[in-house]
Amino acid sequence: GESVGLHLPTLSVQEGDNSIINCAYSNSASDYFIWYKQESGKGPQFIIDIRSNMDKRQGQRVTVLLNKTVKHLSLQIAATQPGDSAVYFCAENSPNDYKLSFGAGTTVTVRA
């Protein structure tokens, strides 16, 4: 089965609110995690990444939190905009072969 999974398959957010997308992973050896955004009919787009020696990393309007104790990853999007509507995938990196394992994805829909 998948080693990375998401708690909720869909998330509906009011425009302007903050979004939180969660992800659980099972491989405690994973050392690198990435969040990708995929719009309909397009390839995944890199959003933000974090290494296992960190617990928080911030980008532009996005923050990734990593809790290694419970093997949990989250993506926070501030002031969600209509353009943020997409499917969001977390991915974990296998340290030996650089393969990525993807979670099931969360579909984020922004309400105007």
Partner 1 sequence: GAVVSQHPSRVICKSGTSVKIECRSLDFQATTMFWYRQFPKKSLMLMATSNEGSKATYEQGVEKDKFLINHASLTLSTLTVTSAHPEDSSFYICSARSRGTSSETQYFGPGTRLLVL
User: Which two three-digit tokens encode residue 72?
Assistant: 């949990």
Other Cβ atoms less than 10 A from the Cβ of 2: the count is 11
What CA–CA distances, in Å, run from 45 to 14, 30, 35, 102? Answer: 23, 21, 9, 13
Segment contacting partner 1 (CB under 8 A): 17-25, 59-67, 76-84, 93-101?
93-101
Of the candidates 11, 105, 108, 110, which one interacts with partner 1 according to CB under 8 A?
105
Closest to partner 1 by CB, 19 or 30: 30
Q: Chain-centre distance of CA 108, in angstroms?
A: 11
- 13, 109 in Cβ contact below 8 A? yes
For residues 30 to 59, the per-residue mask of contacts with partner 1, x marking binding by CB under 8 A and - elsewhere, is: --x-x-x----xxxxxx--x----------
Segment contacting partner 1 (CB under 8 A): 13-21, 53-61, 72-80, 94-102?
94-102
Closest to partner 1 by CB, 17 or 99: 99
Distance CA 35, CA 26 (A): 16
Catalog residues that contact partner 1 under the rule CB under 8 A. Answer: 2, 32, 34, 36, 41-46, 49, 89, 93, 97-105
